[in-house]
Structure 1
């Protein structure tokens, strides 16, 4: 990714859920390279540590936390650890000799400017009428409900001019076989975007990105099959699958002041795949 990007997020704090790999990681990287202090999260500490190391290696200010979005305490911890004042070890030592270092050595987030809700699950590929109730619950819980609950915790800390971006899917427009119920939950995010844009205006904008098919671990069962991959590529106008950087660029636009008059909208980033309900 080009390190000579603009600094649209200088001085801003961005939370990106499910952001230690794939689309989420690329979004965090893009926001960080454009100046944001990014807060990333994953269910596994190992993944968090590895992602933090990669981002710090690119000069990005980053805080990594374990967060399973369906866990209420994890969500609260994610928000609280973002807005609290962080003291570095060097600062603690210097404070013993020079209390006025408080003005210079505090690493303080203390606010939230951007939230990207990226966490998603697809635990089964059964038809809707064959899907177990427990799977239906998990799909709704991870893909829709936790986005709402996270915003309930975060709302008091969102700044004037803040931005929320949901990550939906092209499957939300035409749920495909094997991804049907997953697609339905992603359709719900399109409506949630409209509803929250009205509810959170005028201080917070709410928008959505609907990615096409991207070769990530999450979509590997589709994109690693040569036949399926070629079929998906043929359905695009650009004759290729998307990249995580494609999705990060669209998300960064919606989260930035370049989109200051855009709210309640979904940008489909799918190479021209049909996207009408």
Structure 2
């Protein structure tokens, strides 16, 4: 596992690519060992091309699940790399290029996955958009619409479309953020969406619980993914994560373990909760 205690200055164009990250992130390609906790499950992971989504897809596959990954069409190269690692475990990986900012796109995404797998057991709403700006006046007029459409509306639309296909014992997991609890002003719209997702998670748990469907969230702290150098100023990238009690950023694989737990039968009585993976930053 590469050392993330001193991340150097770097910049990428949005949406960024894994190959250009320095140091290289660990998605569990060789470091994660499965224990058959998701054998025979069928999962959909949005934002599965890189970062937390890639690590989660790999971990799910190593635990015995077939995985479909949704991603923006321009992230095809990273998505194919995720597919390569998933298929190396002997599991299936279905690629689903999708811009989730419309209800219809989410309906079609579910239709494709269910058609390929014959059903769905695990839904991970992980796709997200952020772009930092130093002053309120710097935020483009349409950015808040894009951020909410990607982070909140898509989560609602996709979960709604998937719900009829989820049987008792299924699991929905949303990706929120430490930003929901410790918001940064340069990410004010992003932080607001993550707070909304915390609330949505609790309400969905109440709504779907009587059907035997569990709904939870993972709130990552500073995790080393292409999102960081492609959406933040270079001076913020240098030393990213050093302000945590553990003194470093987290690896994507270190977050993926939380998704595995929440998706597995080990969490059979866990629903409506937000699990923080933050390097020591408080999640309450």
Instruction: State the TM-score, normalizing by the size of structure 2.
Output: 0.82
- Which consecutive residues of structure 2, in runs of 5 or more, have no partner in the other structure? 1-27
Deviation string 1:245-272 (CA, Å, 9 cap, x unpaired) is 1110011111111111111000110111
* Alignment length (residue pairs): 252
Aligned pair in 2 of structure 1 residues 77, 49: CA closer, same or farther (>3 Å)? farther
Aligned pair in 2 of structure 1 residues 210, 3: CA closer, same or farther (>3 Å)? closer
Residue 53 in structure 1 maps to residue 84 in structure 2: yes
Provide the C-alpha distance between the structure 2 equivalents of 1:156 and 1:231, rounded to a whole number of angstroms. Answer: 41
Aligned twin of 2:221: 212
User: How do 1:85-164 and structure 2 match up within 5 A?
Assistant: 86=116, 109-128=117-136, 131-164=139-172
Residue 36 in structure 1 maps to residue 53 in structure 2: no
Instruction: State the TM-score, normalizing by the size of structure 1.
Output: 0.84
Report the aligned-residue RMSD.
2.2
Residue 26 in structure 1 maps to residue 35 in structure 2: no
Residue 254 in structure 1 maps to residue 262 in structure 2: yes
Residue 269 in structure 1 maps to residue 277 in structure 2: yes
Deviation at 1:124, TM superposition (A): 4.6
Aligned twin of 2:97: 66
Provide the C-alpha distance between the structure 2 equivalents of 1:206 and 1:253, rounded to a whole number of angstroms. Answer: 13
Provide the C-alpha distance between the structure 2 equivalents of 1:140 and 1:41, rounded to a whole number of angstroms. Answer: 18
Provide the C-alpha distance between the structure 1 equivalents of 2:148 and 2:61, rounded to a whole number of angstroms. Answer: 30
Provide the C-alpha distance between the structure 2 equivalents of 1:227 and 1:144, rounded to a whole number of angstroms. Answer: 26
Deviation string 1:218-249 (CA, Å, 9 cap, x unpaired) is 0126889577654732x322222111011100
Provide the C-alpha distance between the structure 2 equivalents of 1:194 and 1:127, rounded to a whole number of angstroms. Answer: 32
Which structure has the larger Rg?
Answer: 1
Aligned counterpart in structure 1 of residue 38 of structure 2, from 9, 12, 23: 9
CA contact (8 A) 2:57 2:82 kept: no
Deviation at 1:76, TM superposition (A): 2.2
Deviation at 1:165, TM superposition (A): 0.5
Structure of higher RCO (CA pairs closer than 8 Å, 6+ residues apart): 2
Provide the C-alpha distance between the structure 2 equivalents of 1:189 and 1:227, rounded to a whole number of angstroms. Answer: 25
Aligned twin of 2:249: 241
- Which consecutive residues of structure 1, in runs of 5 or more, have no partner in the other structure? 87-108
Deviation string 1:113-139 (CA, Å, 9 cap, x unpaired) is 100000111145254565344111111
Provide the C-alpha distance between the structure 1 equivalents of 2:120 and 2:201, rounded to a whole number of angstroms. Answer: 19
Provide the C-alpha distance between the structure 2 equivalents of 1:75 and 1:221, rounded to a whole number of angstroms. Answer: 25
User: How do 1:149-188 and structure 2 match up within 5 A?
Assistant: 149-188=157-196
Provide the C-alpha distance between the structure 1 equivalents of 2:78 and 2:106, rounded to a whole number of angstroms. Answer: 18
CA contact (8 A) 2:125 2:175 kept: yes
